[in-house]
Structures are given as structure tokens and as C-alpha cells.
Amino acid sequence: MYKAIALLSGGIDSPVAIHLLKDRLTIIPVHFHQMPLTDDREIQKSKELAKALQLEKIYLVPFAPVLKALVEHFPHKNYYILSKIAMLNAAELLAEKENAKYLITGENLAQVSSQTLSNLTTITKNVSLEILRPVLTFDKQEIIDLAKKIGTYDISKGPEMCSLLGPKYPATKSNPEEIAKELAAFDLLPLLKKSIEKAETTR
């Protein structure tokens, strides 16, 4: 079976996305955490989700330095777009290490600002590996119902910390070429590599 690296946020959507594909791919989840800006609740939640999904291991990647760099060096309105690209680019480094061919996300069309059609297009065009989005067109209630059915809902529910450094008015539209220029102006790769080097792996 082909391998895939799946972004596991600790929210409701990403565990459902993983569940839908885990019989077709060998899935390795990665959680990008914001410690020491936050406590370890998101990490514990992600570990519980990986266990509930019967996944062999999970990468826990410290991502606060990358997110701080996005706030300091890039237009703040684009934070959510850029942070998702950064996570996916870091996941690509893991994919190279694990010989994985795909990335998986729990992105759901127009649910939040980074998931408008415009911004999803921008994200996709700034990532090299193919991104699988199995819950892209699901209704939110469908995702919740499935999360309850597979036993991840109670673990996932509750506040997420993804908006900790985000802007009050995030961009809902973007241009892939303009975002690519922004990314070219400040090299995130050393920070991404350092984050992956410091990742904790639990089985």
C-alpha cells in the first residue's frame, strides 16, 4: 500500500478524513503543536486520536518558531493560508523521510477562511505532493455524525488553538503567484527542517 502523511489537528475533521482513507493507504499522522505558546492538551488529544484510529505512530512537531516567523515576516491577513502551506511543506519533508507519496488533510470547503475555494487553490499550487481531501464537500453535520460513529468526536470536541496567532480579519481570497512571491522573499525551509528534526515520535 502507498503511504500518506496526514495532518492531524486535534479537531473534528482531520480524524474523519484519516478514517475514510486508512483502509486504502498506510497513514502516518503528524501534529504541529504550538508549545510553549500553549499547554500540552492539543498534543495529548492528538495522541488519543491516533490511538482511536489505530495508527501505528504519530509525529509531534514543534511549530511555534515557524508560526512566529509567519507573523513577523509576512502580511498578517495571509497567516492561515501561509501556516497551512508551511505545515504541508513540513509534511513533505516527513513524506520524503517515510517514502510517502500523498498528503491528507481534513479541509472542508468554505468552513473557515483558509478553506475558501480561492485559498485552497493557492495552498495546492504551493505544495508539490498531491493533497487528498476526503471531507472536502461534506456537510459539517455529516462529519460530526461520522466522528461520533468512529469514536473520535468526544476526543476532538472542545476549543482548538489554531487561531492563537491569527488575524482578526483573515484573507478569504488569494493569488497563488503572489503568495509564492511572499514565500520566496523569506526562506522558511531552515525553520521547517529544524522543526522536523525536533519532532517527537510516539507509537
pLDDT in tens, 44-80: 999 999 999 999 999 999 999 999 999 999 999 999 9
pTM, two decimals, is 0.93
| All residues at 6 or more sequence positions from 76 whose CB lies less than 8 Å from its CB, including other chains | 167
Determine the pLDDT at residue 35.
Answer: 83
Determine the pLDDT at residue 177.
Answer: 96
Determine the pLDDT at residue 202.
Answer: 86
Determine the pLDDT at residue 203.
Answer: 78
Bridge partners for 26 per DSSP = 3
Evaluate whether 10 touches 32 at the Cβ level (below 8 Å): no
Determine the pLDDT at residue 163.
Answer: 65
Determine the pLDDT at residue 137.
Answer: 93
Return the CA Rg of the chain. Answer: 16
What is the bridge-based pairing of β-strands 102-104 and 26-33? unpaired
Determine the pLDDT at residue 176.
Answer: 95
**Domain housing 15:** 3-202
Determine the pLDDT at residue 159.
Answer: 60
How many residues in total does the chain contain?
A: 203
| All residues at 6 or more sequence positions from 87 whose CB lies less than 8 Å from its CB, including other chains | 7, 32, 63
Q: What's 97's domain CATH number? A: 3.40.50.620
Residue carrying C-alpha cell 470536541: 157
Evaluate whether 82 touches 174 at the Cβ level (below 8 Å): no
Determine the pLDDT at residue 162.
Answer: 62
Determine the pLDDT at residue 160.
Answer: 63
Determine the pLDDT at residue 180.
Answer: 96
Q: Could you give the number of structural domains in the chain?
A: 1
Residue 110 identity (one-letter amino acid): A
Determine the pLDDT at residue 76.
Answer: 94
Query: Which of the residues in the chain have pLDDT under 70?
Result: 158-163
End-to-end CA distance of the chain: 20
What is the distance, to the nearest Å, from the Cα of residue 140 to the centroid of all Cα atoms in its chain? 18
